[in-house]
Amino acid sequence: MWAELDQMPDFSNTRYANVFATPLITHVWDDGPGLNLSLRERILVHETENPGIGKSNHGGWHSETGQLEFCGDAGRRLIAHMHELADEATRRVFAEKTMDAPPCRWTLSAWANVNRSGDFNHVHVHPASTWSGTYYVDAGEPSDSDRGAPLHLFDPCQGRSMAFLRTLPSSVYVHPKPGLMVLFPSYVPHMVFPHNGSSARISIAFNLRADPYP
């Protein structure tokens, strides 16, 4: 009788699923090299003409929020890419649940960030939005060319990192690469490490809200 208890249980019919996973989407745009030449020039000129605003940034320059009007045709093209990636990300989220994604009307806002040596962004979230993202124009010639000042994403379920199998990873790092666009749910806490490069690290952050919201 007791000998049977020493045998390994049969878990072959046990189901395992991640029911509250957090999506993270990354995509490198093929037209990035040409797009970034124009974006970089327009952003740096606009920086000299406008004082910028303070948000999560410690140091650095944060443009006004809008539709990247100061970037001209390159800004309009990049905003189209933001819509395209948001549509694809939404489709994939619903596909995982074997559901068709509903048609989405997006309200989009975007702004440019210019970080120089030592500049960084505090931990924050983007309320009243659905997706948030970053597009990298210039990594800023970091001292470690393969890494740069990363985007640091934290597990949005803080209880998981404090009380559930604490040795599991509770954050993700995304290293800047020109042409790379990163998309994640707006409730995900994130920050940017201090820049350690010899030139400006230029990125464009954005929010998309599915209307009606929420």
60 part of a folded domain: yes
Owning domain of residue 128? 24-211
Residue 47 included in any domain: yes
**Alpha carbon distance 123, 188 (integer Å):** 10
Confidence of residue 8 (pLDDT cuts 50, 70, 90): confident
- Establish if 16 belongs to a structural domain: no
Cβ-based neighbour number of residue 88 at 10 Å: 14
Domain count, the chain: 1
Mean pLDDT of 101-122: 96
HEC profile of 78-119? HHHHHHHHHHHHHHHHHHHCCCCCCCCEEEEEEEEEEECCCC
Instruction: Answer yes or no: is 101 within a domain.
Output: yes
Burial of residue 49 (CB within 10 Å: 0-12, 13-18, 19+) is exposed
Query: What does pLDDT average to over the chain?
Result: 93
Domain membership of residue 17 (yes or no) is no
4 located within any domain: no
Measured between alpha carbons, how far is 42 from 119 in angstroms, rounded to an integer?
21
The answer to whether residue 8 is domain-embedded is no
Model confidence at 6, pLDDT cuts 50, 70, 90, reads: low
Q: For position 3, what pLDDT does the model report?
A: 55
CATH (domain of 122): 2.60.120.620
